[in-house]
């Protein structure tokens, strides 16, 4: 390391909330603590720092006035706190884990132009990088094309993504990487989405022992159509950083089991009556899953299946699959442009898999929501977690069978929802399908029994759910850190 760089590192460390102690193994959360979104954690192994994730809050729109609220604060308030990082480890390519990566990289390079691919290494699996590159490119395109950005300099561009790529190191499941002579990292399948990894860090100690930290990233235990369930190391863990998404979740009695749903009156019945079933789908994961499910059930014989958006993500997904799995995603009919959408809406009798699982502005799913919500023969099948700010959350209040629940609610008019600045009457059918790519009831507890971690750092969880989950738990064992506070083993 050059003297210049050492001096820089020392200076930056003074800016930290608390400099990492070379005696400690610890966790500091700068994002996705006490919330889901903008994940960014720093692990300190005896003074050597590893960053996990660099995400955004997808609920905050990426506009010139608001984008900073979408980022982990540390990126624009104190990038110096991250300048000692040599390794950034990414678990998977959802925006809440990678959305800030290009911007962070650009800020770090500006603060220290002598960073090279040897002094900053960004680790992730092949599919995770392909989806990351795709999503970051989409952000670039939206900054170029979205009128909100007119007259503003885009925060990063394709050139920055290409430079970032030079720093990315592709890793494979089962691989063990030596981050420094006493610290190794093992890459473990996490389930969840294609290419999602958990990371086991093993730090050799001076007494001959070893300290182990397992960061699961978002994870799911059950096999999905294209993705096998997570693998857990059969080893005792000192610190566990789990996926808190479903901890403390109150089960929804109106959630519909996947088994039998496609054959039910809610799906098949709607089609047989000439209606339209719209399946809003997260493009880098749920879209292929939903397509495969519909095809496997033979529903293309009942109504035409249209894919609206997500073409590129589907192509990447297909290319990452084994050849024998690819046929489920071949010969698809895509909708091109608004005129074709209007035509499908007019002709009815169709299944539309629409990109945009949480109905983000300008997404195909958002278009179908605003156009379909007031039609009694349109059925929406919500099949992923909804951000509290997504119109999907408002729509869920009207899900099948919720009539009594809604009439008790405080809403002045229970039959309308707000989408953007407009009010719509809800006449469509709404279903919530019990699909999850996170750990389900009991799976977290079984994992904890197996790994018997001394410390569990609860992150990536909605505040109300996490506090419900943590009530009555041993606070020494279950840490629930605030932003920027350090938790030791
Ligand atoms: Zn995820
Ligand atoms: Zn996540």
DSSP codes of every residue in 394-427:
HHHTT-TT-HHHHHHSS-SSTTEEEETTEEEE--
Query: How many A from CA of 264 to the centre of ligand 2?
Result: 31
* Ligand 1 centre distance from Cα of residue 22 (Å): 32
Ligand number with the minimum distance to the CA of 193? 1
Strand, helix or coil for residue 467: helix
Three-class secondary structure of residue 374 per DSSP:
coil
What pLDDT sits at residue 413? 53
Contacts of 405 (CB under 8 A, 6+ apart): 397
How far is the centre of ligand 1, averaged over its atoms, from the C-alpha of 289 (Å)? 15
Query: What's the gap in Å between 320 CA and the centre of ligand 1?
Result: 18
Per-residue pLDDT at 31 = 94
Identify the pLDDT of residue 9. Answer: 38
- Helices vs strands, H then E, count in the chain: 17, 22
With b meaning 16 or more CB within 10 Å and e meaning fewer, what string describes 35-49? bbbbbbbbbbbbebb
Give the CATH number, domain containing residue 369: 3.40.50.10890
Separation in Å, CA 394 to CA 249, 277, 420: 18, 19, 12
The domain that holds 218 is classified in CATH as 3.60.15.10
Tell which of 387, 409, 433 closes a domain: 433
Sign of the CA dihedral with 422 first, then 364, 305, and 296 last: negative
The answer to whether 196 touches 216, Cβ cutoff 8 Å, is: no
How far, in Å, from the CA of 58 to the mean position of ligand 1? 12
Distance CA 59, CA 75 (A): 18
Tokens 């496997």 correspond to what residue? 296
Which residue in 390, 318, 389 sits closest to 356, CA to CA? Answer: 390
Distance 95 CA to ligand 1 centre (A): 8
Closest listed ligand to the CA of 243: 2
Residues 6+ apart with CB under 8 A from 100: 38, 40, 54, 55, 56, 70, 71, 72, 75
Do 345 and 199 have their domain in common? no
| 240 and 266 share one domain | no
> What percent of the residues of the chain are helix, what percent strand, and what percent coil, each to the nearest 5?
35, 20, 45
State the distance from the centre of ligand 2 to the C-alpha of 449, rounded, in angstroms: 23
Q: What is the torsional sign of CA 261, 265, 270, 271?
A: positive
Measured CA to CA, the distance from residue 175 to residue 271 in angstroms comes to 47
Q: What is the pLDDT of residue 123?
A: 99
The answer to whether residues 319 and 348 belong to one domain is: yes
- Whether 68 and 27 map to the same domain: the answer is yes
Boundary-marking domain end, from 396, 413, 433: 433
Identify whether the C-beta of residue 427 lies closer than 8 Å to the C-beta of residue 379: no
Smallest-distance ligand from the CA of 244: 2
Are residues 221 and 83 part of one domain? Answer: yes
Q: CA geometry: angle at 11 spanning 5 and 15, to 5°?
A: 135
CA pair distance 377, 397, nearest whole angstrom: 18
- 383 phi and psi angles, rounded to 5 deg: -135, 20
- Six-digit token string for 424: 């719509």
Domain that holds residue 469: 3-246+437-488
From the list 64, 157, 47, 149, the residue with the least C-alpha distance to 102 is: 157
In angstroms, how far is CA 48 from the centroid of its own chain? 27
Query: Which numbered ligand comes closest to the C-alpha of 219?
Result: 1
239 and 145 within one domain: yes
- Give the Cα-Cα-Cα angle 145, 146, 152 (nearest 5 degrees): 90
Task: Quote the Cα angle for 217-142-317, to 5°.
Answer: 45
* Burial classification of residue 448, based on how many CB atoms lie within 10 Å of its CB (0-12 exposed, 13-18 middle, 19 or more buried): middle
Centre of ligand 1 from the C-alpha of residue 132, in Å: 12
Host H or E run for residue 314: helix 311-320
Q: What is the pLDDT of residue 404?
A: 53
Are 218 and 385 in contact by the 8 Å Cβ rule? The answer is: no
| CA of residue 34 to ligand 1 center, whole Å | 16
Residues 345 and 461 in one domain: no
Residues 158 and 235 in one domain: yes
Cα–ligand 1 centroid distance for 49 (angstroms): 23
Torsion, Cα 129 133 138 143, to 10 degrees, reads 130
**What pLDDT does 255 receive?**
86
Instruction: Give the pLDDT of residue 309.
Output: 96
128 and 31 inside one domain:
yes
**Are 273 and 203 part of one and the same domain?**
no
**How buried is 111 (Cβ within 10 angstroms: 0-12 exposed, 13-18 middle, 19+ buried)?**
middle
Rounded Cα distance between 358 and 457, Å, is 27
Q: What is the total count of domains within the chain? A: 2
pLDDT tens digits in sequence order for the chain, 489 residues long: 333 443 333 333 334 455 666 669 999 999 999 999 999 999 999 999 999 999 999 889 899 999 999 999 999 999 999 999 999 999 999 999 999 999 999 999 999 999 999 999 999 999 999 999 999 999 999 999 999 999 999 999 999 999 999 999 999 999 999 999 999 999 999 999 999 999 999 999 999 999 999 999 999 999 999 999 999 999 999 999 999 999 999 888 888 888 899 999 889 999 999 999 999 999 888 999 999 999 999 999 999 999 999 999 999 999 999 999 999 999 999 999 899 999 999 999 999 999 999 998 889 999 999 999 999 999 999 998 888 888 999 999 998 887 655 444 444 456 899 998 899 999 999 999 988 899 988 999 999 999 999 999 999 999 999 999 999 999 999 999 999 999 999
Q: How far is the CA of 309 from the centre of ligand 2 (A)?
A: 22
Closest ligand to the CA of 135? 1
Strands 48-52 and 40-45: antiparallel
Are 84 and 184 in a shared domain?
Answer: yes
CA of 371 to the centre of ligand 1 (A): 29
CB 88 within 8 A of CB 121: yes
Which ligand approaches the C-alpha of residue 220 most closely? 1
Say whether both 44 and 80 belong to one domain.
Answer: yes
Do 192 and 439 meet the contact criterion of CB atoms below 8 Å apart? no
């Amino acid at each position: 390391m050059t003297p210049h760089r050492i001096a820089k590192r020392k200076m930056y460390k003074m800016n930290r909330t608390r400099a990492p102690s070379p005696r400690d193994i610890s966790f500091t959360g700068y994002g996705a603590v006490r919330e889901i979104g903008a994940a960014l954690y720093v692990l300190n192994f005896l003074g050597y720092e590893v960053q996990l994730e660099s995400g955004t809050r997808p609920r905050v729109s990426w506009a010139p006035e608001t984008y900073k609220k979408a980022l982990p604060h540390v990126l624009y308030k104190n990038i110096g706190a991250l300048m000692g990082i040599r390794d950034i480890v990414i678990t998977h390519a959802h925006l809440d884990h990678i959305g800030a990566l290009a911007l962070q990289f650009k800020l770090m390079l500006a603060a220290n132009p002598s960073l090279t691919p040897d002094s900053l290494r960004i680790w992730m699996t092949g599919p995770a990088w392909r989806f990351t590159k795709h999503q970051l490119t989409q952000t670039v395109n939206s900054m170029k094309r979205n009128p909100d950005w007119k007259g503003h300099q885009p925060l990063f561009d394709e050139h920055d993504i290409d430079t970032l790529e030079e720093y990315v190191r592709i890793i494979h499941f089962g691989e063990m990487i030596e981050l420094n002579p006493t610290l190794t990292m093992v890459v473990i399948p996490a389930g969840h989405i294609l290419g999602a990894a958990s990371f086991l860090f093993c730090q050799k100690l001076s007494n001959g022992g070893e300290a182990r930290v397992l960061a699961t990233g978002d994870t799911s235990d059950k096999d999905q159509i294209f993705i096998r369930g997570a693998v857990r190391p059969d080893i005792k863990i000192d610190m566990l950083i789990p996926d808190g998404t479903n901890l403390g979740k109150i089960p929804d009695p109106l959630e519909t089991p996947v088994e039998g749903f496609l054959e039910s009156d809610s799906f098949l019945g709607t089609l047989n009556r000439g209606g339209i079933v719209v399946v809003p789908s997260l493009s880098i994961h749920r879209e292929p899953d939903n397509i495969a499910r519909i095809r496997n059930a033979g529903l293309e014989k009942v109504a035409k299946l249209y894919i609206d958006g997500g073409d590129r993500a589907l192509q990447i997904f297909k290319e990452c699959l084994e050849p024998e799995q690819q046929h489920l995603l071949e010969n698809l009919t895509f909708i091109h442009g608004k005129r074709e959408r209007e035509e499908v809406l007019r002709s009815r009798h169709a299944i539309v898999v629409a990109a945009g699982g949480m109905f983000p502005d300008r997404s195909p799913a958002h278009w179908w929501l605003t156009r379909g919500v007031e039609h009694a023969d349109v059925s929406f099948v919500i099949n992923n977690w909804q951000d509290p700010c997504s119109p999907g959350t408002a729509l869920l209040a009207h899900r099948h069978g919720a009539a009594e629940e809604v009439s008790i609610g405080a809403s002045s008019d229970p039959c309308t929802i707000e989408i953007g600045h407009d009010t719509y009457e809800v006449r469509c059918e709404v279903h919530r399908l019990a699909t999850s790519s996170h750990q389900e009831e009991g799976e977290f507890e079984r994992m904890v029994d197996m790994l018997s971690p001394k410390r569990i750092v609860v992150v990536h969880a909605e505040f109300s759910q996490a506090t419900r989950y943590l009530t009555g738990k041993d606070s020494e064992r279950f840490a629930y850190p605030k932003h920027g506070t350090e938790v030791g083993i």
